[in-house]
Amino acid sequence: MFKGKAAVVTGSTSGIGLGIARALGAQGTNIMLNGFGDRKAIEALMAELRVQYDVEVDYSPADMSRPQQVSEMIAQCVDRFGGVDILVNNAGIQHTAPVEEFPMEKWEQIIAINLSSAFCSIKAALPSMRRRHWGRIVNIASAHGLVASTTKSAYVAAKHGLLGLTKVVALETAQSPITCNAICPGWVLTPLVQKQIDDAAARDGISQDESKARLLAEKQPSLEFATPEQIGAVAVFLCSSAADQIRGTSISVDGGWTAQ
């Protein structure tokens, strides 16, 4: 059922997005990559995915903080592949500081990339999904879409908002073969989390290993990171026919974080 379909995965040059792009590619889905990075490295990645999965791969450099560019990314996918069947809103950034010290421009950047970009891409992609009578929207939220932590006001607000958006889109598409759901990962060892590990190691004068162990012990009862491959597998499940009636909800992949 995935063969020949087209998926846009935002923020897929790294981390969880790349894990999801690989998982969908392995099913035979053509992929529109997006995200920042060295152009040569991205071209090498595109070539690797083409060979490894025997699918077509395109790339959009769209900046998810720019609504016009988000729409252009969707239009590029329609031009290249004839439509958008699967949309994974994954691009995201983090910044930590107490509310009183949180820079306004960081707040606006996080809301734009982690939340508003999903609104823009869904708005742009839905007409194509409705035309093709099928669609899957998967929003990558977070454990921080369900619970909060200190120093993450913008991120927690954006991820809670993303779960709200997920529910509205699911209701508006409920009587169609288009579904919209979210995945809420806990800690996944990606560059986004590595930076938090590095910052804590430098701040507390501890080793990388100790910093990782403390990060997990604070939130994730399994004491293990979830992996991009595991998140990719859940995204594939949400895109499968088994998930036809899973609508407007979220699946946590968080090692027990939000069970506490």
Q: Which residues are marked as active site?
A: 155
Distance in angstroms (rounded) separating the CA atoms of residues 225 and 108? 29
Interface residue with ligand NAD among 25, 83, 92, 255 (CB under 6 A) is 92
Which one of 10-18, 77-85, 97-105, 165-173 is the stretch in contact with ligand NAD (CB under 6 A)? Answer: 10-18
Interface residue with ligand NAD among 2, 5, 7, 14 (CB under 6 A) is 14
- Rounded to the nearest angstrom, the gap between the alpha carbon of residue 247 and the centroid of all alpha carbons in its chain is 17
Q: CB-wise, 34 or 153, nearer to ligand NAD?
A: 34
Give the helix, strand, coil percentages of the chain, each rounded to 5.
Answer: 55, 15, 30
Indicate whether 193 belongs to the interface with ligand NAD (CB under 6 A): yes
Q: CB-wise, 189 or 206, nearer to ligand NAD?
A: 189
Report the nearest approach of ligand NAD to the CB of residue 130 (Å): 25
Which one of 49-57, 190-198, 214-222, 237-245 is the stretch in contact with ligand NAD (CB under 6 A)? Answer: 190-198
Distance in angstroms (rounded) separating the CA atoms of residues 65 and 62? 9
Interface residue with ligand NAD among 2, 5, 9, 15 (CB under 6 A) is 15
Distance in angstroms (rounded) separating the CA atoms of residues 164 and 161? 5
- x/- mask, ligand NAD, residues 95-134, rule CB under 6 A, reads ------------------xx--------------------
Angle between helix 153-172 and 104-111 (nearest 10): 20
Tokens representing 147 are 């619970």
Residue carrying structure tokens 């919209």: 180
Indicate whether 58 belongs to the interface with ligand NAD (CB under 6 A): no
Tokens representing 165 are 């958006």
Beta strand extents in 75-210 (DSSP E only): 86-89, 135-140, 178-185
Contact between residue 6 and residue 86 where contact means Cβ atoms under 8 Å apart: yes
Indicate whether 142 belongs to the interface with ligand NAD (CB under 6 A): yes
Contact between residue 71 and residue 120 where contact means Cβ atoms under 8 Å apart: yes
Q: CB-wise, 191 or 205, nearer to ligand NAD?
A: 191
Contact residues toward ligand NAD (CB under 6 A) are 10-17, 34-37, 63-65, 90-93, 113-114, 140, 142, 185, 187-188, 190-193
